[in-house]
Chains A and B, each alone.
Chain A
């Protein structure tokens, strides 16, 4: 049976960034993306690709699962 499922992604990017004392612009420059992309990820308006998620996780020395959590409803 196929059931429709709503999947949302939550990220810890904002808390990790603020804990590291970084501005959105500084993190964006370090990762090589725009400040708006960091903002969109933090506010849940954009789900990053696996590559960008891995890049962000590696930057914070965390696993992808620790930074991004997929919630199924």
Chain B
């Protein structure tokens, strides 16, 4: 199998992530922002290397989970537990962020709007995910 075909065998989510980072690096480079271009390029190569390492047949399960390269139903079940923990922490942190911004009197600032939008999107995502999970039983 050719190397280019081999690269396509990484998971869809990794293709999106690596592709986005590559595109970001190219655009940053075209705009002359070399620090950003190098940073994004390194992240792109690092992500690709991690995904390819996780696809090796002898890779550890935690390596596959960290690299978003799930091989079977157990990997997907374990990944759900990990993402659930991340989701809980994200919800608590963004709520704490909004409270701190209100207490600090940052009402109306761009940072406050970003935090509020994050809070709303996270809660909508949670609600939609719950509905889908219940419907699928």
Q: Chain A: residues with CB nearer than 8 A to chain B?
A: 25, 29, 32-37, 40, 46, 48-49, 51-52
Q: Which of A34, A48, A49, A51 contacts B61 (CB 8 A)?
A: A34
Q: Which of A32, A34, A51 contacts B74 (CB 8 A)?
A: A34
B71 at interface (Cβ–Cβ under 8 A)?
yes
Q: Quick one: given A34-B61, A36-B61, are A48 and B73 in contact (CB under 8 Å)?
A: yes
Name which residue of chain A comes closest to B70, CB basis: A34
Question: Contact size class for B?
Answer: 10 to 19
Q: Which of A32, A34, A46, A49 contacts B64 (CB 8 A)?
A: A34
- Whole-angstrom distance between the alpha carbons of A25 and B75 in the complex? 16
- Whole-angstrom distance between the alpha carbons of A69 and B108 in the complex? 61
Q: Quick one: given A34-B64, A36-B61, are A46 and B74 in contact (CB under 8 Å)?
A: yes
B72 at interface (Cβ–Cβ under 8 A)?
yes
- Contact status B71-A34, CB under 8 Å: yes
B60 at interface (Cβ–Cβ under 8 A)?
yes
- Contact status B72-A40, CB under 8 Å: no
List 24 A-B pairs, Cβ < 8 Å.
A25-B57, A29-B57, A32-B72, A33-B71, A33-B72, A33-B74, A34-B64, A34-B71, A34-B72, A34-B75, A35-B58, A36-B60, A36-B61, A36-B74, A37-B71, A37-B72, A37-B74, A40-B74, A46-B74, A46-B77, A49-B73, A51-B73, A52-B72, A52-B73
Q: Looking at chain B's contact residues, is the secondary structure mostly helix, strand, loop, or mixed?
A: helix
- Whole-angstrom distance between the alpha carbons of A46 and B74 in the complex? 8
- Whole-angstrom distance between the alpha carbons of A36 and B60 in the complex? 8
Chain B residues lying within 8 Å of A29, measured Cβ to Cβ, are 57
Q: Which 8 A-B pairs have the closest CB atoms?
A: A33-B72, A37-B74, A36-B61, A34-B71, A37-B72, A46-B74, A49-B73, A34-B72
